[in-house]
Amino acid sequence: MKTWGLLLPIAAAVFVSTLGADAPDAEEAAPKLSPQVLREIAQVEAEIDRIEAQTIERLAAPPDNQIQQIELLGKAMLYDKNLSVYRNEACAFCHMPETGFTGPVSELNRTTGAYPGSVRTRFSDRKPQSHAYAPLSPVLHYNPGQGDLVGGNFWDMRATGRRLGNPAAEQAQGPPTNPVEMGLPDIACAVYRASQRPYRVLFESVWGAQAFAIAWPSDVEEVCDRPGPPTAAQPSPVHLSAMDRGRAGTTFDQMAQSISGYEASAEVTSFTSKFDAVLAKKAQFTAQEQKGYDLFRGKGRCNECHRDGGPGEDPLFTDFTASNIGTPANPRLPYYEENQPDQSGYVANPQGASFVDGGVGTFLRQGHLLSQPSAVDQRWLKLAPDNQARMQVPTLRNVDKRPYPDFVKAYGHNGYFTSLKEIAHFYNTRDVLPRCKPHDAGEGTTCWPAPESTDNMNRSKVGNLGLSDSEEDALVVFMQTLTDGFLPREQP
């Protein structure tokens, strides 16, 4: 159960005022995360370091196949903390394998929903998505027959893939210069940092000796140690010649393509769940799992958006469209408090407590976005009103993958939900149960708060499904069959 009155103290308890441990000096003061969060973060960081060390060892004798070399490069970069402004946050910090490549810190999932960036005072406005299966999303396009935008990456589809032909690659270009994530002030900083890493030799072997043949200015270290965003007067603070700027841009593209190559590999996008085993006739559903699958395809209406496949279709459990399911605002997000300049003068959320996530519509209107790796097709501007507040339908693969049974996962674009049962109950009863009163102890059980936004809210497939409590439970049990690792990974 959740209420503003109950959750705000919980969220506040995550922090105590002190100097940020990861900041380089006292100028970048930060609230320190709670002891429980710090313990979990330390465990995650130790695992990141372990995986990175193993990956670097493989560089001594890399595969002789170029595709596998690209995958190895991508993995090395995903686990490289040096690609963040304070060298303290790898991409993997929000995307670890033990949780299906989404947020790996249970206490953050339970309390804040969003994750801190390299500058630990800065949090995003959304929960981390899974990057498993993300490379299988199509390039963003408009389907006039169904009246939908389809494809892209990110909750708001803003990694369109229109430039690189690969949404996952364009998604990988967002976090490095996102001020509330990895925080670098310039894409050239990511290239410069990569040029100093052990995978440089393999990168040049795969992508060419020109990749890092850049005349770096004498102040590049100093510039890249300052958190972004850059100033309007100097949008590219690393001063490069036109030729070197072009080379840095191309190398940054190749870094992103390497990362997406790893994300598409069998190590990440593996199709090894019990569901896949049942399809292959190597396992059978239990009676409750089969009941849940029947409900998923029938009364629950889940399969209408979370597609389980069809002729010529992989069972990816998303149709790559966007929808506003009416998720309530999540008062636990620290983002609501990020309306004042921090020690670097950055204001992440000028709207403060009045912020409403506009989803795909905000992207199309080129509104206030924390990162925007893909250019907007201006021909789509007219689609913005019909896409306001809509969020991409996420894959349900690995939706319940967790390292231990009581690990908390967050669901919904803002992490409002903290269990599969809760979000199944919401889909079932959003329009049946009354609105919660302030401090209502029944929130999430006998009442629901108002939606964060009612713009384009899905009223046809969500809200009054008529499921019993046991039918909700059966749906949850079926979704647990989508966790990878049931079958051994196989490569042809």
β-pair partners for 148: 143
Tell whether the model's pLDDT for residue 21 goes beyond 50: no
Specify the length of the chain in residues.
492
Mean pLDDT of the chain: 93
Alpha helices per DSSP H over 212-358: 220-224, 242-263, 274-279, 287-297
Q: Is the peptide bond before 229 cis (omega within 30 degrees of 0)?
A: yes
pLDDT at 5: 45
Q: pTM score, two decimals? A: 0.94
Mean local confidence (pLDDT), 164-170: 97
Cα separation, 150 vs 146, whole angstroms: 10
Q: Kindly report the backbone phi and psi dihedral angles of residue 148, in degrees, each rounded to the nearest multiple of 5, phi listed first.
A: -130, 145
β-pair partners for 116: 123
Taking the CB of residue 95, how many other CB atoms lie within 10 A of it? 23
The DSSP output letter for 347 is -
Residues 239-277 pLDDT 10s: 999 999 999 999 999 999 999 999 999 999 999 999 999
Q: At what angle do helices 242-263 and 200-207 cross, to 10 degrees?
A: 100
Residues 362-406 pLDDT 10s: 999 988 889 887 899 999 999 999 999 999 999 999 999 999 999
Range of weakest confidence among 11-15, 34-38, 147-151: 11-15
pLDDT at 27: 36
Q: For residue 127, what are its two tokens?
A: 């929960």
β-pair partners for 348: none
Q: For residue 142, what are its two tokens?
A: 């408009």
8 Å CB contact between 169 and 374: no
pLDDT at 492: 59
Q: Kindly report the backbone phi and psi dihedral angles of residue 394, in degrees, each rounded to the nearest multiple of 5, phi listed first.
A: -80, 155
Put residue 46 in one of left, alpha, beta given phi > 0 → left and psi -120 to 50 → alpha. Answer: alpha
Tell whether the model's pLDDT for residue 312 goes beyond 90: no
C-alpha distances in Å from residue 477, one per residue of 68, 282, 287, 417? 36, 19, 10, 17
C-alpha distances in Å from residue 362, one per residue of 169, 233, 357, 369, 488? 21, 25, 8, 8, 41
Nearest to 403 by CA among 96, 55, 112, 93: 96
pLDDT at 311: 83
Residues 97-155 pLDDT 10s: 999 999 999 999 999 999 999 999 999 999 999 999 999 999 999 999 999 999 999 99
Sorted by sequence, the CB contacts under 8 Å of residue 158 that are 6+ apart come out as 152, 174, 363, 369, 371, 372, 373, 374
Q: Residue 400, CB half-sphere, CA atoms under 13 Å: how many?
A: 19
pLDDT at 373: 78
